[in-house]
Amino acid sequence: MAADHIPCGLNGLPAEAGASAADRIGAKPGFLQRDAPAGFQFFLADTCARAAPMSTPRHVPVLAREAVEMLGVRDGGVYVDATFGAGGYSRAILHAPETRVIGIDRDRTAIAGGFDLVERSGGRLTLVEDKFSNLVEVCAAQGIDTVDGVVMDVGVSSMQLDQAGRGFSFRLDGPLDMRMGHEGPTAADVVAKASEADLASILYIFGEERHSRAVARAIVAARLEAPIMTTRALAEIVAKVVWAKPGEIHPARRTFQALRIFVNAELDELHLALSAAERVLKPGGRLVVVSFHSLEDRIIKNFLATRGKSSGGSRHLPETAQIQPSFRILTKRPVTPGEDELRDNPRARSAKLRAAERTDAPAFPAAALPAWPSLATVMRGG
Ligand SMILES: C[S@@+](CC[C@H](N)C(=O)[O-])C[C@H]1O[C@@H](n2cnc3c(N)ncnc32)[C@H](O)[C@@H]1O
């Protein structure tokens, strides 16, 4: 849905919108660091010796029509776009009259890139730089207790992937960063500090890398020679010990995926955000999640499978002793992109959409997070 369909005006515009946006995050056009707003030209002189000027590539929303249809957007409804990115989903939701959208992204360049849309939304879009695991608190801070829909499009955006300076891509040379947000250890820090055993676990669990031990050994040997600071250096180390199967993209693909997921605690975030959505959705409210690899899809599928049936108790006990389903599943099988979308946007190829409708049963008790290596423990050295 085109942004120019959204009513213009400044009524009720949140304080952070408008021309002061760049000032607020300390951005100056022309010569900025990584934290510059999207759309600015900037250099990465702080982290990459081979710094080059870059412009921001746009993200093409994946399964946007299907996501918004599944969300059942209705006039006047309140929605959370938990992964604002380039705002494709938010734009589509705002197309319905009187809707309100809280857009969340942990990447301040994505938030800054959306200020224009905030302005044009006439106060109906509020953008918040935060992690989506905090979505209940983000809504509460806006005076919102319950919402009509939560949509998440997890993973990285094209703006992140296609900027060498963000360090996500094995195809582009840049600093080995990979953080979606702007604090905490980078991938270079992890590669420098993690023990060989921790590196192997990270690569195996988050990258499903069959050669995890060989790659971890190669990284540890290489870092004794020189610090591994760039994406190219890491990709070359991996390519010496892993051969890509015919048709596979690059031997370092799984290593990069693993480090990215680990550095951003992506799977913990997803677990926490699904539970948070369960708490904030009103009865009849919809949850729609688009994911891009099997690790994410498994978490979403299991979450919905558990919440979609009653549990606990026994058939000898009254029904009230059982935990009632908190969701009604809307997608027995995941929705995937059609041929037209795949032709126009090859990045959509692994996308899967799952959706469910909140019942009026209470939210399930939050489950413990899986016991996989955590960033804090690994950086402390075990
Ligand atoms: C695939 S893009 C979303 C694209 C968006 N649907 C659009 O149409 O432009 C994913 C976005 O989610 C953000 N993101 C990923 N994990 C996050 C988290 N845990 N908390 C907040 N934002 C997150 C990323 O920074 C990125 O901008």
- 10 Å CB burial of residue 220 (0-12, 13-18, 19+) is middle
| Of 49, 47, 55, 58, residue with least CA distance to 30 | 55
Q: Give the E-state strand segments of the chain in sequence order.
A: 78-81, 100-105, 125-129, 147-153, 281-291, 327-329, 352-358
Which residues touch 354 (CB under 8 Å, ≥6 apart)? 288, 289, 291, 297, 300, 301, 304, 329, 331, 334, 335
Is 86's C-beta closer than 6 angstroms to any atom of ligand 1? yes
Give the model's pLDDT for residue 315: 61
Q: Which of 70, 83, 129, 293 to mutate to test the pocket of ligand 1 (most atoms within 8 A of CB)?
A: 83
Lowest mean pLDDT segment, chosen from 39-43, 143-147, 316-320: 39-43
pLDDT at 76 over 70: yes
Lowest mean pLDDT segment, chosen from 14-18, 249-253, 269-273, 297-301: 14-18
Give the model's pLDDT for residue 368: 86
Mean pLDDT score, 71-80: 97
Among protein residues, the one whose CA lies closest to atom 24 of ligand 1: 156
pLDDT at 373 over 50: yes
Is 113's C-beta closer than 6 angstroms to any atom of ligand 1? no
Is 106's C-beta closer than 6 angstroms to any atom of ligand 1? yes
Is 253's C-beta closer than 6 angstroms to any atom of ligand 1? no
Among protein residues, the one whose CA lies closest to atom 8 of ligand 1: 88
Q: Which atom of ligand 1 is nearest to the CA of 88?
A: 8
pTM of structure: 0.84
Distance 81 CA to ligand 1 centre (A): 9
Measured in whole angstroms, the distance separating CA 6 from the mean position of its chain's CA atoms is 25
Distance 83 CA to ligand 1 centre (A): 4
Is 304's C-beta closer than 6 angstroms to any atom of ligand 1? no
Lowest mean pLDDT segment, chosen from 54-63, 240-249, 344-353: 54-63
Give the model's pLDDT for residue 44: 22
Distance 358 CA to ligand 1 centre (A): 23
| Of 111, 124, 101, 98, residue with least CA distance to 14 | 124
Domains and CATH numbers, the chain: 1-169+283-382 (3.40.50.150), 182-263 (1.10.150.170)
Is 153's C-beta closer than 6 angstroms to any atom of ligand 1? yes
